[in-house]
Each structure stands twice: as C-alpha cells, then as structure tokens.
Amino acid sequence: MSTDDLTLIRPDDWHLHLRDGALLAAVLPHTARCFARAIVMPNLKPPVTTVALARAYRERILAALPAGMTFEPLMTLYLTEATTPDDIAEASASGFVHAVKYYPAGATTNAASGVTELRRCYPVFEAMQKHKLPLLMHGEVTDPEVDVFDREPVFVERHLTTLLRDFPALRMVLEHITTREAAQFVRDAPAHVGATITPQHLLLNRNAIFAGGLRPHSYCLPVLKRETHRQALVEVATSGDPGFFLGTDSAPHPRHAKESSCGCAGIYSAHAAIELYAEAFEAAGALDKLEAFASFHGADFYGLPRNTGTITLLRQPWTVPEEVDFGGVPGVPMRAGESIAWRLDT
C-alpha cells in the first residue's frame, strides 16, 4: 500500500507515562494532539496505589490539558503486596480505574514498591478476575542470575502459564513485549490475553544501543532485543490479530538523567508516536493494518467504544528537534535530529 495521506479513526495509547507536575504539563499535549485516550501508568513517587490517589492524579491530568484539546486519561492502580480485594472492588466501581499494573520489585523506573512474589497477590487476582479488571504486567523476572536479555522469556515460562492456569478468566495484558516467545504466548492464549507493542521495539534492535558508542537514549526496559525478535514483533503487530495493540510506553526522562553514570531506562516517543508506527507498518507493507492496531484492538479488548473522530497523516518528511521541553529541563526525544517520513496533519 502506498499513499501520500492516511486517515485513521483517532487512536488510543494503551501504555503511557505522563509523570506529574511541570513535566506532566509539558508532555501531555504531545499525546493529546493525536490520541483520544491513554492507559496512564501509576509509577509515580509515591505510587498510585489507591482509588483516591488515582482520582487525584486524574484531576491533575485533566487540569493540565490545554484548552481546545480533548483527551481521556484511563487510570490504573499500582499493585503492591498490600493491595486488597476491597481495593479491587472499589476500583471496579469507580468508573475511571481501568486496570491494575504489576511491576516486579526493582524492574524499572519507580518500581521499588513492586511485587516480590506473585503468589502473595493471589487473593487480589481472584478479585480482579471476578470484577473483570485487567492485570497489566511488566513481564520480566529480576533474578540476578537471569541474563537481562532473557528476563521476558523466563517470565513467560515461569509465571504466565501458571497465572493462566490458576486464573483462567483473568484479563491480562503483557506490556511492551520484546521477544518472539512473548508474541507467541499471546498468539496462542485465549482472547482475554493481549499485548502492547512500542514503536521502538518495532523499529529498533539492540544494535541501536551501541551504534557508534553507547547510546543512552536508546536504552529502555525491557531492553531492545535481537533483530529476529524485532521481526517477530512486526509480524504480529501487522498480522491483524486483535490480541496486539498500540502502547507507546513513552517515558519522559530529562537529558541529564539519561546521560549520567547510571542512566535511567525509557524512550520518549509521544512527540511522534503515530508517525513512527506508520513508518514501521509501511516498511512491512502493512499500512492498511495500522488502523486496527492503533484504533480498534485496544478499545475492543478493554470493552470501550471505538473513537469516532479521525486523524490524518501526510507523507511530509520532517526533522525531529534535538531536544524537547520536559517542564523546564531538556529531554531527548526518539529520533532526535533525524527525519520522520510522516507528519500528523494538524
């Protein structure tokens, strides 16, 4: 498929980091220019562990939305070993909490309060299954003896099969998948198991971290993998399988936090997310499959109505700025200083 413009039903982002305060105000317009809704990650400091905290965070997001923009934040709770079935019942009844996020303790940014042993959360999973509240999983193990590039396949083998057996009706999303093994698991799983895929994992392999030197702005978690895994992700994303949908995992970190002696993980893509996905789908000869991946599959999985408005992408190359404002400090966006083939028609 080749065209100079592409009109899509307005898409949604099913995995997004907005942070808080001045940083939230700076990055929110990048998402709202394109996406109608987003599943907002709860890993703030302190984490969003209760419905009351989620309500307050939602109000701060809406207050930061520029006049004239429309956007609906879909809130999540941060799962801890202190979360209770009553918390799940309250979240389900709230109308604005749409999922619960599982982080293995220490796995990624602000994950210190995460779960050390999944079985300790079984009463909560039972309540989530009852209330049909999805479990969103950062699908990695953090055992030091497991190679960092194998953390996702080990998680799939060690935990996902067991969870599916013990909670056969629990709605689950394996977030930001990076490997052939994760893709195959979701392909083979029942319809209530899905996965999000990021633009970086569709466009880059692990060579990007080391191209001409150490590239901290290509470092994310789960880390980029081999080219064979990238190809497997492109295959499932463009297959039309409704179990796979768009989730940017766009994560704003200031330049100084990335370019440090112990740089943090995360890639910022909200400034050009749908344009980057369009590049990936076009490279695969599958532009005709982008709308379903970006606009239909996630909404259907979450039981929400599909959006009715549209966006249009134009084939007009543009150069990404070297830096973007992250609330008064500079951040480096994905593809900084480089060209992107598609531009959102605003």
Averages of pLDDT over runs of 10 residues in the chain (346 residues) are 83 98 98 98 95 98 97 97 96 98 75 81 97 96 93 95 96 98 98 98 97 95 97 98 98 96 95 98 98 98 98 98 98 98 96
Tell me the binding residues: 15, 17-19, 43, 101, 138, 176, 221, 249, 253, 265
Nearest Cα neighbor of 224 from 211, 208, 241, 248 is 208
How far apart, in whole angstroms, are the C-alpha atoms of residue 164 and residue 256?
41
pLDDT of residue 260: 93
Which position among 13, 87, 241, 249 bears the catalytic label? 249
Q: Is the separation of the CB atoms in 90 and 51 below 8 Å?
A: yes
Active site residue 249: yes
Tell me the binding residues for Zn(2+): 15, 17, 101, 138, 176, 249
Counting Cα atoms < 13 Å in the Cβ hemisphere of 293 gives: 29
Pairing mode, strands 324-325 and 330-331: antiparallel
Tell me the binding residues for substrate: 17-19, 43, 138, 221, 253, 265
- Residue 337's Cβ-count burial label (10 Å; 0-12, 13-18, 19+) is exposed
pLDDT of residue 316: 96
Q: Alpha helix (H) ranges present in 138-268?
A: 151-155, 161-166, 180-188, 199-203, 227-237, 255-258
Residue 142, number of CB atoms within 10 A of its CB: 18
pLDDT of residue 110: 54
pLDDT of residue 109: 62
Nearest Cα neighbor of 222 from 153, 322, 293 is 153
pLDDT of residue 1: 42
How far apart, in whole angstroms, are the C-alpha atoms of residue 137 and residue 101?
6
Q: Which fold has domain 11-308?
A: TIM Barrel (3.20.20)
